[in-house]
Amino acid sequence: MCRAAGPRLIGPNRFAGGVLVEVLKDVAVRLTPLAPADADEMVRALRSYPLLEGFRGAPPADVAALPDVLLRVVALADDLPQVVELDLNPVLVHERGASVLDARIRVAPAAPPTPRGAAPAASDAGR
């Protein structure tokens, strides 16, 4: 699973999938912007990472495909502020490449940018 929610949060990012992820609490979360090294670190920090390297005779997965998915999600969220939430679940990693089997995207009107030097809106006062 890969999730982007809010203006600067990427995560929780889980790549084991399904209910097992929730039981294992296999999550990595970072604020954006996300550098390639951050994306690699997120993937390698997962408890399920050894499964991606090949386990019990299974071929190793294309581990480099996962940070690529993360970076593409960050780029999409940065480019389209209307995307307020994005869930990719599951993300399957193959011997070569990765596939997103299901995606859910929630959009909302983007707030206009605050001009430089402008006072915060009255609703933001006191925050």
122 pLDDT above the threshold of 80: no
Does the domain formed by 2-110 have CATH 3.30.470.20? yes
Q: What is the mean pLDDT of residues 8-12?
A: 48
Whole-angstrom Cα distance, residue 89 to residue 92? 9
Least confident of 14-23, 65-74, 90-99, 111-120: 14-23
Instruction: Give start and end residues of each alpha helix (H) in the chain.
Output: 18-24, 36-45, 49-52, 65-79
Q: Which of 98, 119, 96, 111 shows the shortest CA–CA distance to 6? A: 111
Higher pLDDT, 5 or 73: 73
Residue-wise pLDDT for 47-64, tens only, equals 888 888 998 899 999 999
Whole-angstrom Cα distance, residue 23 to residue 67? 23
Residue-wise pLDDT for 28-50, tens only, equals 888 878 899 999 998 898 888 88
Provide, for the chain, the percentages of residues in helix, strand and coil under a 3-state DSSP scheme, each rounded to the nearest 5: 30, 25, 45
123 pLDDT above the threshold of 60: no
